[in-house]
Structure 1
Amino acid sequence: MSDETIDTLLIGIDAACAPILDPLFEKDALPNLEAIVEDGASGPLESQIPPWTASAWPSLYTGVNPGKHGVFGFLAYEGYDWDVVNATHVREAALWELLSHHDMSSVVVNVPVTAPPPEIDGAVVPGYTAPENPACHPDGLLSEVHEEIGEYRVYPDPEREQPGEYVDLVRMRGAAFRYLADRFEPEFGFVQFQQTDSVFHEHPDRQDYVEEIYRAVDEEIGTLLEECDPDTVVVASDHGMGPYEKYELRVNEFLDEKGYVETTTGGSGMPAWLPMLNSQLREGEEARAPSPGLAGRAIGAAARVGITPARAGKALRAAGLEGLVKRVVPADARRAGNEQVDFAESTAYMRSRIELGLRMNVEGREPEGKIPEPEYESVREEIIEVLSAVETPDGEAMFEAVGPREEYFWGPHADEGVDVVMVPNEFEQFLSADFKGEVFGPPTEPYNHKLDGMVAIAGEGVDSDADLSGAHLFDVAPTLCAALGVPRSDRMDGDVLGAVGPTDEYDYPEFDGTVRETDDEEIEDRLSALGYLEGNE
C-alpha cells in the first residue's frame, strides 16, 4: 500500500445485527469488528420499510427513502410488466457521485444496485443485481482486478462446496478493495460483504457456516484497517436477521378468498428466482417469465379441471412425499399448473413479498385497471381495514401496521411503490405471494430479515460516548458526509449521527434520472436461491 490513507472507510455487512454478533463476540470470534464496536460509538440501526437488500442499500448510500430514489425491491414494475432494477433505477445521487461533485474520489466494491456504474472520480466494481463479470468504472477495471488478485466473482458458484465458496467470495472483496484503494488513493472507500446474509437464506440451520463466514469477514476487516489505515471507519448493515417462528400468510390466497384476487392457471406466472440464479445470470440466457413447456402445458390442462400441484402437494405433504414433485417435475411446469394471480382481472394483489405490500389495479394507471379512479381511496381504505383485522390461527395479530404508502414513502417516485404497506408483527410473521392451497402455514424460510441492523463509528474525531439510539438507515449517508467534511445534500432524509460533528446542507444539482432497461441476458437467476421472488412453485 502507498503512504496515503483513506479518510473514511464504510464497511457494509449485510444483515449484521446484535443477535448475530453478540454470541460471536462472546466467543472472541470477531476481534477486529468487536474492537470497532468497543472503541467507537455503536448501536442498533433501524432499517426502512421494506428492509430488503435491493431497496435498503440504495437508501443507505443516498440518504433518502425509496419514494425519492425509486427502488422498492429487486423488480421495477410498469403496468403488469417487470424489469430487474439496476443503478439507473436509483434516481438520486449516490454518495460517491456527491463526493465526485466536490472533487473527492471513491472506491466502491460489491455494493448492491450499482451496475451500470456512474462515471466518478475513482473506481466502482458493482455487486448484487449486476451480471457476473460486470462492466466496471473505469472501463477495463475488472480485467485489471483479475490480473492483480486472480479470480473475482460477483456471485457464488453453486458447484463449489459451502461454506468455502462463500469464504472465497469474502476474501475476493477484501483483496479487490485493497488493490483499488492502493491504485486510486481515494478519500472515501466502501466495501460490502453479502454472504453474511446469503448464508441464512441458503443454510439457515448451519450456525457453523455462519461463524466461519463472519470470521472470514472479520479477518478481511483486520487487513483492511491495517493496510488502508482509515482515519474514520463506519460499519453498517442494511437490516437485521433472525428466526421466523410464527406463521406464513399466503397473501394472495387470502385476497382470493376475500374476492380481491382473480386467479388463472396454465401460464408461466411470475419469474422464479431459482432458475434465474442457476442459469440465466451465469449462462447468459434471456431473463423473462419462463415458458411452461410440454410438462407445464400438461399440468396446466390438469389444473383447469381442478388437479393442481398445490392440491396435490397438500396430500403429498401428509404422506411425506412432497419432495417427489420437486425432483420429478420441472419448476416451470409446476408454476404452470399452480394457481397464479391474474393481474389484469384482480382488484389488488401482492406482486412480490419483499415489497411488504399490495398493488392495486386502477383504471387509467394499469393497462386493464378495474378500480375506477374516484373509488381508489375508498377501496384502499377497505383493503387496509380487512388486512388490519387478520389474525393468525393462534389469535395473534398478523400485522404490526397496515397503512397507505404515503405513511412510508414520500418524494417524486412514491407512486411507484405499493399502494398498501403491510408490516408483519415484530417481523416474526412471514408473508408469501404464492398459492399453496391454504391461507396459513409454517414460514417458508426459518430465518429472514429483521428491522434492526447495526452501526458502529470509530476513529479520529469520533465521540465514542455518543448515544446512537434512534439511528436510522437514512442517517448513514449524511453522517459520512460529515465525517468527510462535505455538506450533505439538502434532499437527504436522514440526520448526522452524534458521533461526528454536524455539517451544512447544500443544494445539490439534480442528477440524470433516466432509467435504462436491465441487460436481461444475465441478471435474475443469481438472486433466486435466496427466495426473494416466488414463482408459485
Structure 2
Amino acid sequence: MFEAADGYGRTSLVVNYPVTHPASQLDNGAVIPGYLAREDAPFYPEHLRVEYENEYGEYRIYPEYGTNDDAVAEYVDVARCRRDMARFLDERYDWDLLAVQFQVTDSVFHDLDDRDEIRRVLEKVDEFVGDIIDLGGGDPTVLLASDHGMGDYDWTFYANSWLANHGYCETTTGDTQYFRQAKDELKGKDEESKDERSLLETAVETAASAATTAGLSPQRIHRGLSTVGLAAIVERLLPEDALVAAQNQVVDYSNSAAFQLYFNSLGIHLNVEGRDPAGTIPEADYEEVRAELVEKLERVRDPDGELVFDAVRPREEVYEGEHLEDAPDIALFPRDYRYDVSGSILDTFRRYPHKNHKPEGILLSNRPLDAGKQAEIHDVAPTVAAALGIPVDTNTDGEVLLDIEEQIERENWDGISHEYVDGRSNEASSSVEDRLADLGYMG
C-alpha cells in the first residue's frame, strides 16, 4: 500500500510493519522495519536510526525480559518506541500517510497470563495511539485495524501425529525447529544464554533419543504421563524449548502421503506423484484420497468427545486465483477457533488453555463506514487508497468502505510494486524468505 502511495507521489511514513525488511527505498517518506527484521536492521533513509537514537535513545523492535524483570514495563517501552518514532518522523516530513503498527498488542496475549498486566499494556498503547492521531492535526482520516482477533483456546491438535496414527504420515528422527527459537534469533539473543539453553535441550534430547531406541517414543511417554496426571507438571517445570527438543521426531516428507507442512497452519498437503518432488499418491487417486481424508477429519473428536472442526474443505472451495496450486489441498476450520493445529509430533491432543488468534478482528474509523458490508482485511488497502485520492488497485478483492463522493479511479498496481521489489537484492529477499520459513509462514 505505502509503495503504491509513493508511486502516486504521496509521502508515506511506515513504522514497524511486518516484512518491511529490507526497507523499500521510497522517493518520498521513510520506512522503519518491524517484525521479522533483526534488531539492527537499517532504516530507510539509513541516517534516521542514528538521528532518532541521539534524540530518543535505542529503538527496539522486540521486547526482551527475564523471569525477574517487569514484563509490563518492557512491553510498554517497546510500544513507546513506535509513538516516539512517529513524533520524530512527523517533525521531518510533510506526510500524507502515517502507518504505525503495534506488534505488542498481539504478543502480550501469547506471553503474559495475568489479565491485569495485559490490560496495563493495552491501556498504554491506547494512549500512544491517541498521541499519534494528534500528529494529524485538524481532522485527519483515521483507520484503526487489527489483522485478527484474540481469544480463548482449549486444546492443541497435533495434525501430523493424527495423520501418522491413521497411516498417512511417516516420521523419522531429526532436528526440530520451533517458533520461539526462531524468534530468539531475530532478537539477537546473546551466545551465553543460547549456550545455557542448549545444554538443557541437549540433555533432554539425549534422553529422548535413548527412550526412542528402547521403543518409547515421545508420544508414548507423554501419553503415559497424561494417564497418571503428570504431563502438565512436567510441561510446567521444563522450559518450552526443552520440551520441543524431546520431540525428536519429524515428518518424513518423501515417504508420507499427507502432512501439515507449516508448524502452525490450518492446511493439509497431499504428496502427489507428478506434482510434488517425492510424490507418493498416484495422480489418478488424488480426489479419492483427499475426499477420504476430508471425511475422516470432519469426524475427529477431542478427548471430551467434542468435534474439533466446524468445517474441512477442499482448497478450491476456499481459495481462488492464479496461485491456487500453492494452497494446501485441504483447509481446516477449528470449531469456534478453540483448537491450535500444530505440526509437532507429540500426542494427538494436549489440553492447553491459552490465548490465540481468532478470525474476526476490529476496524474503527472517525469516518462513516459502509454499514451494509461485513468488512474484510483486504478492504483496508482500497479504503486507504481512496482516502489518499489515488487509484484503487484493479486486482484487489477488497472494496472501499468510506463514503467517497468522487468517482473512484482504478489502475493496476503491479507495475508500481515491481519497481520497489526489483530494487531489493536477491540476497536480502532470500534472507526474508528464510526467516518466514523458519517461523512457519512459508516453505
Q: TM-score range by the shorter chain?
A: 0.7 to 0.9
TM-score (norm 2): 0.85
**1:507 deviation in Å?**
2.5
Aligned to 1:261: 169
Indicate yes or no: 2:17 matched with 1:111. Answer: yes
Note the residue ranges of structure 1 that are not aligned, 5 or more in a row: 1-94
- What letter corresponds to residue 345 of structure 2 in structure 1? F
In the alignment, structure 1 residue 228 sits paired with structure 2 residue 136: yes
In the other structure, the counterpart of 2:334 is: 424
Aligned twin of 2:85 = 176
What are the equivalent positions in structure 2 for 1:75-86 lying under 5 Å apart?
none
Residue aligning to 1:195: 104
Of the three residues 260, 280, 289, the one matched with 1:379 is: 289
Deviation at 1:132, TM superposition (A): 1.1
Contact preservation (8 Å) 1:236, 1:454: yes
CA deviations on 1:227-282 (whole Å, 9 max, x unpaired) are 3326211100001011124x4322112111211011122x103x112233335641
- Could you say which residue in structure 2 is the equivalent of 1:282? 188
Tell whether the 8 Å contact from 1:347 to 1:371 is kept in structure 2 after alignment.
yes
Q: C-alpha displacement at 1:103, in angstroms?
A: 0.8
Tell me the distance in 2 between the aligned counterparts of 1:329 and 1:520.
28
Any idea what SS the aligned residue of 2:364 has? strand
Measured after TM superposition, the shift of residue 356 of structure 1 is: 0.6
Residue 401 and residue 214 in structure 1: after superposition, are their counterparts in 2 closer, same or farther (change >3 A)? same
- Which residue in 2 is equivalent to 1:91? none
Question: After superposition, what is the alpha-carbon deviation per residue over 1:193-221, rounded to whole angstroms, capped at 9, x for unaligned?
Answer: 11111111111x31111211111111112
Corresponding residue number in structure 1 for 2:61 = 154
Report the residue type matching 2:130 in the other structure: G
Which of 388, 396, 411 aligns to 2:321? It is 411
Q: Does 1:143 align with 2:50?
A: yes
CA distance in 2, matches of 1:219, 1:281: 26
2:117 equivalent to 1:212 = no
Secondary structure (helix, strand or coil) at the match of 2:150 reads: strand
Partner Cα separation in structure 1 for residue 16 and residue 91 of structure 2: 17
Task: Work out the CA distance in 1 between the residues paired with 2:340 and 2:238.
Answer: 28
Match of 1:241 in 2: 150
Q: Which residue of structure 1 aligns with residue 74 of structure 2?
A: 165
Deviation at 1:524, TM superposition (A): 7.7
Question: What is the Cα deviation at residue 178 of structure 1?
Answer: 1.6
Provide the rounded CA distance (Å) in 1 between the counterparts of 2:276 and 2:190.
31
Task: Check whether the contact 2:36–2:186 (CA below 8 A) recurs between aligned residues.
Answer: no
Specify which of 368, 371, 384 is matched with residue 463 of structure 1.
368
| 1:517 matches 2:422 | no
CA contact (8 A) 2:247 2:344 kept: no
Structure 1's 448 and 333: CA in aligned 2 closer, same or farther, altered over 3 A? closer
Letter in 2 for 1:156: P
Q: Is the partner of 1:376 in helix, strand or coil?
A: helix
Specify the code of the residue in structure 2 equivalent to 1:406: E
Determine the structure 2 residue equivalent to 1:447. Answer: 355
The answer for the alignment partner of 2:267 in structure 1 is 357
SS class of match (2:361): strand
Change (3 A) 1:524 1:298: farther
Q: Out of 391, 396, 399, which is 2:309 matched to?
A: 399
Residue 185 (1) aligns with residue 98 (2): no
**TM-score, scaled relative to structure 1:** 0.71
Which ranges in structure 2 are unaligned for 5 or more consecutive residues? none
Aligned partner letter, 1:355: S
Aligned residues: 421
Corresponding residue for residue 382 of structure 2 = 478
Is 1:508 aligned to 2:413, yes or no? Answer: yes
1:357–1:321 CA distance, 2 compared to 1 (3 A)? closer
| Aligned equivalents of 1:387, 1:319: Cα separation in 2 | 28
Matches within 5 A, 1:60-139: 95-120=1-26, 121-139=28-46
131-140 vs 474-483, greater mean Cα deviation = 131-140
**Per-residue CA shift, 1:16-61, capped at 9, x if unaligned?**
xxxxxxxxxxxxxxxxxxxxxxxxxxxxxxxxxxxxxxxxxxxxxx
What is the Cα deviation at residue 417 of structure 1? 2.8
Partner of 1:447, secondary structure, is: strand
Select the structure that is richer in helix.
2
- Give the Å deviation of 1:517: 1.1
Q: 1:497 aligns with which of 389, 394, 401?
A: 401
Distance 2:237 2:354 in 1: 22
* Separation in structure 1 between the aligned mates of residue 150 and residue 25 of structure 2, nearest angstrom: 34
Shift of 1:106: 0.2
Question: Partners in 2 of 1:147 and 1:155 — Cα distance?
Answer: 20
1:302 corresponds to 2:215: no
Residues 519 and 457 of structure 1, relative CA distance in 2, 3 Å threshold: closer
Q: Distance in 2 between matches of 1:329 and 1:225?
A: 41
Specify the SS of the correspondent of 1:166.
helix
Residue type of the alignment partner of 1:505: R
Aligned partner of 2:166: which letter?
K
Shift of residue 450 of structure 1? 0.9
Cα pair distance change 1:505/1:486, threshold 3 Å: same
AA matched with 1:113: V
**Secondary structure at the counterpart of residue 446 of structure 1:** strand
Q: Please tell me whether the aligned partners of residues 156 and 169 of structure 1 are also in contact (alpha carbons under 8 angstroms).
A: yes
Contact 1:404/1:421, CA 8 A, preserved across alignment: yes
Whose RCO is larger (CA < 8 A, sep 6+)?
Answer: 1
Change (3 A) 1:500 1:235: farther
User: CA contact under 8 A between 2:151 and 2:356: conserved in structure 1?
Assistant: yes
